[in-house]
Amino acid sequence: MKKQTHFFKDAILLLSIVAFISLIVFVIYKTITSEQKIFTIGILALFCGVLFENFRISEKWVDIIVVFIFSFLFSFATFLPGKRESFYIFENHLHAWPYVFLTLFILFSTIFNYDKVIIKLGEGATLLQSLAIIYWVLDTGIFGIDNIICKSFTIFTFIFSLFAIFNSLTYFILTNPFRLILSIWSSIIMLILTIDNAIKVFYIQDVEATKYLSQGLLITLQYFLLGISSIYIFQNIIMLLSYFPSKGSKSYISDIKEANSMHLSRYSDRQVNAVHAFVCIILVASIYFINYKYHFLPRNVLIWLVFLLFPVLMHLIGFQKQYNRYKIK
Last residue of a domain, one of 51, 81, 113: 113
**CA–CA distance, 132 with 151 (Å, rounded to integer):** 18
Task: Mark whether 107 and 125 lie in a shared domain.
Answer: no
Task: Mark whether 148 and 288 lie in a shared domain.
Answer: yes
Position 180 confidence tier, pLDDT thresholds 50, 70, 90: very high
Last residue of a domain, one of 113, 142, 164: 113
SS3 for the chain is CHHHHHHHHHHHHHHHHHHHHHHHHHHHHHHHHCCCCCCCHHHHHHHHHHHHHHHHHHCCHHHHHHHHHHHHHHHHHHHCCCCCCCCCCHHHHHHHHHHHHHHHHHHHHHHHCHHHHCCCECHHHHHHHHHHHHHHHHHHCHHHCCCHHHHHHHHHHHHHHHHHHHHHHCCCCCCHHHHHHHHHHHHHHHHHHHHHHHHHHHCCCCHHHCCCHHHHHHHHHHHHHHHHHHCCHHHHHHHHHCCCCCCCCCCHHHHHHHHHHHHHHHECCCCCCHHHHHHHHHHHHHHHHHHHHHCCCCHHHHHHHHHHHHHHHHHHCCCHHHCHHHCCC
Which residue range is the domain that position 131 belongs to?
Answer: 118-326
- What pLDDT score does 186 carry? 93
Task: Mark whether 96 and 201 lie in a shared domain.
Answer: no
Q: Best-predicted range by mean pLDDT among 35-44, 60-69, 184-193, 319-328? A: 184-193
- What pLDDT score does 17 carry? 65
Task: Mark whether 109 and 153 lie in a shared domain.
Answer: no
Q: Which DSSP category does 120 fall into? A: P
174: nearest Cα among 226, 214, 211, 120: 120
Backbone φ and ψ of 286, nearest 5°: -65, -40
Residue 3 vs residue 315, higher pLDDT: 315
Residue type, 285: A
Task: Mark whether 141 and 61 lie in a shared domain.
Answer: no
Task: Mark whether 8 and 128 lie in a shared domain.
Answer: no
Residue 322 has pLDDT above 60, yes or no: no
Task: Mark whether 242 and 320 lie in a shared domain.
Answer: yes
Task: Mark whether 192 and 57 lie in a shared domain.
Answer: no
Q: What is the pLDDT of residues 99-146, one digit of tens each?
A: 899 989 988 887 777 666 555 688 889 999 999 999 999 999 998 888
**CA–CA distance, 12 with 277 (Å, rounded to integer):** 64
Q: Best-predicted range by mean pLDDT among 63-72, 91-100, 130-139, 258-267? A: 130-139
- What pLDDT score does 188 carry? 94
Helix (H, G, I), strand (E, B) or coil at 195: helix
Q: Tell me what the mean pLDDT of segment 68-94 comes to.
A: 83
**CA–CA distance, 82 with 323 (Å, rounded to integer):** 48
Task: Mark whether 212 and 273 lie in a shared domain.
Answer: yes
- What pLDDT score does 181 carry? 94
Reported pTM: 0.84
Q: What is the pLDDT of residues 211-241, one digit of tens each?
A: 888 888 898 999 999 988 887 787 788 888 8
Last residue of a domain, one of 113, 128, 156: 113
Q: Which phi-psi region, left, alpha or beta, contains residue 295 (left: φ > 0; alpha: ψ -120 to 50)?
A: left
Task: Mark whether 307 and 250 lie in a shared domain.
Answer: yes
CA torsion 143-149-152-157 (nearest 10°) is -60
Residue 184 has pLDDT above 60, yes or no: yes
Task: Mark whether 166 and 315 lie in a shared domain.
Answer: yes
128 and 280 in contact (C-beta within 8 Å)?
Answer: yes
Give 267's strand partners. Answer: 121
164 and 126 in contact (C-beta within 8 Å)?
Answer: yes
Q: Tell me what the mean pLDDT of segment 174-186 comes to.
A: 92
Q: Number of folded domains in the chain?
A: 2
**CA–CA distance, 54 with 61 (Å, rounded to integer):** 9
Task: Mark whether 22 and 155 lie in a shared domain.
Answer: no
